[in-house]
Amino acid sequence: MAREPLAATPSQISEIRCIACASVVARPSQTFRCPSCGDLLEIVYSGWKTSLNAESLKVIWRNRQTSRTAVDQSGVWRFRELLPLFTDEQIITLHEGNTSLYELPTCARSAGVEHLLAKHQGMNPTGSFKDTGMTVAASVARAEGFRWVGCASTGNTSASMAAYAARGGMRSLVLIPEGKIAWGKLSQALDYDALTCELKTDFDGCLRILSEVVQRMPVYLLNSVNPYRIEGQKTTAIELLEQLDWQAPDHIIVPGGNLGNSSAIGKALLELRALGFIRSLPRLSIIQAEGANALVRTMRETGGRELIAVKAETAASAIRIGNPASWKKAVRVLQETGGTVEQVSEAEIALAKAEIGAEGIGCEPASAVTLGGLKKLVRSGFVKRKESVVLILTGHLLKDPDYTIKFHRGELLGASEPIAAQQRAPIVLDATVDAVVGALKRAEQKT
Ligand code: F0G
């Protein structure tokens, strides 16, 4: 297929605007905060209303699936009309996006709905949803001439950033809470050549320190306060809707940590509706771990008006965040889509994770909060049995093998019902045929 030039169209002329005071920012500062009021920034596209046609874009995007060029093969850049403008040469891509949508029939029964789908963002090149945002923001960093990029992370952002920096010929600085990062993620940052610093603090402390470092040193900040990350992560929702033939599901359920991802998916849904791609809006609901429930408390105790920060603790280390930076964006998305918040216990997370694993899919603990949360939303009547639901699974099962092994061995939570039914610890046997046949027969009797 002939290469389409990436020429500027009015649709891609974007502005960076403050979410609170609406000031337009010509060039964001190192910390991506509004120079007038200090709030977060977002990207808006003034030319959209007049220049984009949803029906023709649907065809263009579908046709690009047969193209062999790197930008067309990316599940992010395939949708580039809804992203800021880049030239081919500026883009750092690892063929991100293009993730599968799986049916989860057993989990559906367990949750009490007829139809349940999971979009698995853990199937991205570095094993998490972060790649969809990183391809955009890392490309900006390189285009602006930065030699260094940096992030604070609970693990996945650092893995993704380090990979895209390495591909783009940049160095990366990773700040992580000491001893709180799953091995899969830490090993990625090391292998992808990051300068990895373990700090004796939590994620929130790491982000605070990084915000000061980037003001002293020329390091480009790649946390999700960077609005380019959010633009790339919008494509999760765009690709999902395309996979559903532009029929919006009733509910989309996402885990909440620093709240960039829920903000991004919500932004995409609102934009897709405004542009006429979809007629109805799915309700976007956000699930947190009980021990890291800042948004849940913020919504329940202040109606979303004031952030209630918490001291976070959960074995779902990806979302061990107490002071979420994008809370205001997430509140707006909840309110505009009619979604809700829910929290789940450590046992509910572990059980849900094992159930998703038993479907042959698997995910990391933070992703499993979605299924745990769905069960509660069905029980409360917020999600109805016949409604269609999509869970966003954010990270791959292999990110955190320690957690999985501890769970199955009964070392994470013990073996109380109904956890025991999902525990599948390895059995140590004599090295004989009889021992294996005996184990097979016992297993057969149980099913
Ligand atoms: N799921 C996984 C697997 C994550 O890694 C994260 C965040 C989330 C969910 C929550 O997403 O922060 O956008 O609300 N991980 C970040 C990191 C914070 O550093 O990897 P969020």
What does the pLDDT look like over 318-341, one tens digit per residue?
A: 999 999 999 999 999 999 999 999
Ligand 1 pocket check for 223: Cβ under 6 Å: no
What mean pLDDT value characterizes the chain?
95
Of 7 and 63, more confident:
63
Nearest protein CA to atom 15 of ligand 1, as residue: 318
In a 13 Å sphere around the CA of 359, the CA atoms on its Cβ side amount to: 24
Residue holding tokens 């073996």?
415
Residue 186 confidence (pLDDT): 98
Cβ atoms 18, 25 nearer than 8 A:
yes
Ligand 1 pocket check for 256: Cβ under 6 Å: yes
Ligand 1 pocket test target in 161, 258, 321, 399 with most atoms within 8 Å of CB: 258
Ligand 1 pocket check for 202: Cβ under 6 Å: no
- Nearest one of 58, 225, 48 to 133, comparing CA atoms: 225
Amino acid at 7: A
Centre of ligand 1 to C-alpha 156, Å, is 7
Residue 13 confidence (pLDDT): 75
Ligand 1 pocket check for 319: Cβ under 6 Å: yes
Cβ atoms 224, 154 nearer than 8 A:
no
Q: pLDDT at residue 204 above 70?
A: yes
Ligand 1 pocket check for 224: Cβ under 6 Å: yes
Centre of ligand 1 to C-alpha 384, Å, is 28
As given in the structure block, the two tokens for residue 38 are 């200090």
Centre of ligand 1 to C-alpha 257, Å, is 5
Could you read off the pLDDT of 301-324 as tens digits, one per residue? 999 999 999 999 999 999 999 999
Residue 12 confidence (pLDDT): 66
Cβ atoms 21, 39 nearer than 8 A:
yes
Ligand 1 pocket check for 258: Cβ under 6 Å: yes
How many whole angstroms separate alpha carbon 203 and alpha carbon 286? 20
**Ligand 1 atom with minimal separation from the 256 CA:** 14
* Bond into 418 cis (ω within 30): yes
Centre of ligand 1 to C-alpha 7, Å, is 34
**Ligand 1 atom with minimal separation from the 185 CA:** 20
Centre of ligand 1 to C-alpha 370, Å, is 13
Nearest protein CA to atom 11 of ligand 1, as residue: 257
Could you read off the pLDDT of 146-177 as tens digits, one per residue? 999 999 999 999 999 999 999 999 999 999 99
Ligand 1 pocket check for 127: Cβ under 6 Å: no
Q: pLDDT at residue 11 above 90?
A: no
Amino acid at 210: L
Residue 249 confidence (pLDDT): 98
Ligand 1 pocket check for 395: Cβ under 6 Å: yes
On the 0-12 / 13-18 / 19+ scale of CB atoms within 10 A, 441 is: exposed
For residues 174-210, one letter each, b for 16 or more C-beta atoms within 10 angstroms of the residue's C-beta and e for the rest, the string is: bbbbeebbbebbbebbeebebebbeeebbbbbbbeeb
Could you read off the pLDDT of 369-401 as tens digits, one per residue? 999 999 999 999 999 999 999 999 999 999 999
Ligand 1 pocket check for 355: Cβ under 6 Å: no
Ligand 1 pocket check for 337: Cβ under 6 Å: no
Ligand 1 pocket check for 133: Cβ under 6 Å: no
How many whole angstroms separate alpha carbon 289 and alpha carbon 317? 10
The mean pLDDT of 118-137, rounded to a whole number, is: 98
Residue 211 confidence (pLDDT): 97
Q: pLDDT at residue 38 above 60?
A: yes
Centre of ligand 1 to C-alpha 323, Å, is 13
**CA 17, 23, 26, 31 torsion: positive or negative?**
negative
The conformation of residue 201, written as its DSSP 8-state character, comes to S
Centre of ligand 1 to C-alpha 264, Å, is 12
